[in-house]
């Protein structure tokens, strides 16, 4: 068999990797992460929910540059309904290609809302995605399904639904 540079690389890695793995396990390497402490987990959750809350505010018009006609994401997508983050990336007919949800968010900001697009790598976009995905947590990921309307996570409703709290629709 003729050895190419690629399969020669694979051959060498095949010899080295098992040895390295055995060495790491045997030495109980300091590179392995200890389980997070309850305090660390609490801090992580707090940071996540802060981003979700910020996303909820942006979703409902807290950043004026996102709209020049008064419309906000929440006008058409209350509780992020019908935003369907679990179906992205998918082919978006009005854009003619497969896109991630951040591109759809920016399309909605620029076209129906006639606003300025968010920086796709910025904290605001992350917050928008955090809110949408949080409202769809636990729902099966099904990339590519564009025709079926799906709702967000059910939240408590009717007499007695939360009068206070974060307002992002999760019941704790």
Partner 1 sequence: MTDFDKMSRRDFFTISGKAGLATVMASAVGINFGMVQVAEAAVGKGKVTPFRFAILTDAHLFSQADHKFDAMLAKAVDDVNSMSPMPDFVLYCGDIAQNGTADQLEKGKKILSKLKMPIHFIPGEHDWYLDMGAAWRGNFGAPTWSFDHKGVHFIGMNSILVKDFWTPAGLSAKERMGVMEMLESPIAGPWGVQAEQLDWLKKDVKNLSPDTPVVVFTHSPLWDYYPRWNFQTSDAPEIREILSKFERVMSFHGHVHQTLYNKIGNMGSVGTLSTSWPWPYPDIKLPYPQYQMNRSDPGNFEDGEGSQFIDLESNFTGTHHYQPFGDMLTPTMKNGFKV
Q: Which residues bind partner 1 (CB under 8 A)?
A: 60, 69-71, 74-79, 81-82, 93-94, 107-108, 111-112, 147-152, 154-159, 161-165, 167, 169
Q: Which is nearer to partner 1, 104 or 118 (CB)?
A: 104
CB of 42 to partner 1, least distance (A): 23
Query: How far apart, in whole angstroms, are the C-alpha atoms of residue 86 and residue 141?
Result: 5
CB of 106 to partner 1, least distance (A): 13
**Are the beta carbons of 83 and 132 closer than 8 angstroms?**
yes
Query: How far apart, in whole angstroms, are the C-alpha atoms of residue 115 and residue 58?
Result: 13
Q: Which is nearer to partner 1, 55 or 169 (CB)?
A: 169
CB of 123 to partner 1, least distance (A): 23
Q: Which is nearer to partner 1, 18 or 151 (CB)?
A: 151
CB of 83 to partner 1, least distance (A): 9
Q: Which is nearer to partner 1, 14 or 158 (CB)?
A: 158
How much is the CA Rg of the chain, to the nearest whole Å? Answer: 22
Other CB atoms closer than 10 Å to residue 170's CB: what's the count? 16
Continuous segment of H or E residues that includes residue 98: strand 97-99
Q: Which of 71, 163, 59, 156 is nearest to 114 (CA)?
A: 71
């Amino acid at each position: 068999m003729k050895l190419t540079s690629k399969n020669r690389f694979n051959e060498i890695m095949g010899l080295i990797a098992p040895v390295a793995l055995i060495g790491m396990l045997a030495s109980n390497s300091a590179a392995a992460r200890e389980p997070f402490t309850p305090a660390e987990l609490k801090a992580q959750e707090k940071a996540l929910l802060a981003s979700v809350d910020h996303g909820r505010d942006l979703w409902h018009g807290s950043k004026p540059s996102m709209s020049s006609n008064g419309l906000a994401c929440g006008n058409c997508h209350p509780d992020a309904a019908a935003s369907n983050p679990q179906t992205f990336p998918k082919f978006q007919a009005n854009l003619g290609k497969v896109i991630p949800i951040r591109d759809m968010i920016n399309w909605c900001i620029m076209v129906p809302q006639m606003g300025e697009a968010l920086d796709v790598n910025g904290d605001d976009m992350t917050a928008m995605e955090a809110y949408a995905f949080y409202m769809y947590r636990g729902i099966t990921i099904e990339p590519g399904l564009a025709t079926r309307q799906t709702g967000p996570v059910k939240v408590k409703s009717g007499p007695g639904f939360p009068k206070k709290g974060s307002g992002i629709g999760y019941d704790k």
